[in-house]
């Protein structure tokens, strides 16, 4: 067979192979661009619920896992090892009606410390105003700019909150775009019948948390997150004394904010998250630094003064 004929028969096959490989490359690139941001463990606890309800809530647990971990919450590409570690514990206390549940949602997140195996807690918050409707195998739908259901609005709110706090620890006020998305969810939920979204329902709910985050009088709290983590903890393998001094600087920023506006909801969440970590860190500090830190912490968080006094008691 002439060489030209052989080439003409092979060429279409060769082109098909090239097209197939190109599709694979494009698909791989698309998948890489869709690398999700969260690595969030989900647990639903339902003490006192019937076996039927437990089965329904088990299905919901799997759906929430997919909702949190397989959705893109930012425009950034995250490598698998860069995903933000988080956990959500939903405790269902009672069933109201045929498909409505009432309970709480506890949200935690952490971030790795540079050149160590240690992960520092960034968020630890228990929201007790959690009511949602769910029918087994129901699709969890959410889109920015709409309030579809209380369930998905609360989940999305905390997804953006986790990301916002994480970004704040890596750059000054770096979480602002994601806090803005969380704020938008609060605004859209103002007509929702469920509690937790409105200013008049109490001083410690999602509305007031976002108010504190964007209130300029509390901006030092967010700035302190950056100083505490990036300037302090991330540098401890280089110079422990210098890094610990940066953490003290962060605490002094919190102290100044507390003196101007005591009783901040955002401050209480931060102290709940960081209290034990600070006790562990400063228990090994020089005596003068210990005394300084205990004075600051007991002023900011007097309800937990006994916990902070352990700093000076431990050797």
Which of the four pLDDT bands, split at 50, 70 and 90, describes residue 6? very low
Q: Exposure of 246 by Cβ count < 10 A (0-12 exposed, 13-18 middle, 19+ buried)?
A: buried
Greater model confidence, 85 or 314 = 85
Euclidean distance between CA atoms 138 and 116, whole angstroms: 42
Q: How many CB atoms lie within 10 A of CB 90?
A: 25
Least confident of 33-37, 113-117, 134-138, 259-263: 33-37
Q: What is the pLDDT of residue 20?
A: 42
Greater model confidence, 78 or 22 = 78
Average confidence (pLDDT) over 227-248: 98
Average pLDDT of every residue of the chain:
90
pTM of the entire predicted model: 0.88
Which of the four pLDDT bands, split at 50, 70 and 90, describes residue 97? confident
CA-nearest of 155, 177, 154 to 166 is 177
Which of the four pLDDT bands, split at 50, 70 and 90, describes residue 12? very low
Q: What is the pLDDT of residue 212?
A: 98
Residue 246, CA distances (Å) to 185, 210, 237, 241, 269 in order? 35, 27, 14, 9, 21
CA-nearest of 100, 60, 107 to 194 is 100
Average confidence (pLDDT) over 271-297: 97
Average confidence (pLDDT) over 16-29: 40
Q: What is the pLDDT of residue 48?
A: 87
Q: How many CB atoms lie within 10 A of CB 85?
A: 17
Average confidence (pLDDT) over 38-45: 98
At 42-63, the pLDDT tens digits run 999 999 899 999 999 999 999 9
């Amino acid at each position: 067979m002439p060489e030209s004929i052989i080439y003409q028969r092979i060429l279409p096959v060769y082109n098909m192979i090239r097209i197939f490989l190109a599709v694979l490359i494009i698909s791989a690139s698309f998948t890489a661009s869709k690398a999700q941001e969260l690595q969030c463990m989900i647990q639903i606890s339902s003490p006192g619920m019937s076996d039927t309800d437990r089965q329904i809530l088990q299905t919901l647990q799997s759906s929430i896992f997919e909702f949190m971990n397989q959705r893109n919450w930012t425009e950034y590409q995250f490598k698998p090892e860069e995903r933000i570690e988080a956990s959500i514990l939903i405790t269902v206390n009672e069933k109201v009606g045929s498909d409505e549940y009432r309970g709480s949602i506890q949200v935690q997140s952490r971030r790795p410390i540079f050149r160590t195996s240690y992960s520092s807690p960034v968020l630890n918050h228990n929201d007790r105003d959690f009511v949602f409707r769910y029918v087994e195998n129901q699709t969890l739908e959410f889109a920015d700019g709409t309030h579809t259901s209380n369930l998905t609005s609360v989940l999305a709110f905390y997804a953006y909150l986790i990301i916002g706090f994480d970004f704040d620890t890596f750059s000054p006020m770096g979480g602002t775009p994601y806090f803005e998305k969380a704020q938008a969810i609060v605004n859209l939920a103002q007509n929702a019948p469920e509690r937790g979204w409105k200013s008049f329902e109490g001083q410690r709910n999602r509305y007031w948390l976002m108010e504190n985050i964007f209130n300029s009088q509390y901006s030092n709290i967010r700035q302190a997150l950056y100083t505490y983590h990036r300037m302090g903890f991330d540098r401890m393998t280089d110079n422990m004394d210098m890094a610990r001094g940066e953490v003290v600087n962060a605490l002094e920023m919190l102290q100044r904010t507390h003196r101007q506006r005591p009783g901040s909801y955002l401050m209480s969440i931060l102290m709940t998250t960081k209290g034990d970590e600070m006790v562990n860190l400063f228990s090994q500090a020089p005596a003068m630094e210990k005394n300084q830190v205990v004075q600051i912490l007991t002023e900011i968080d007097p309800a937990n003064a006994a916990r902070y006094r352990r700093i000076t008691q431990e050797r």
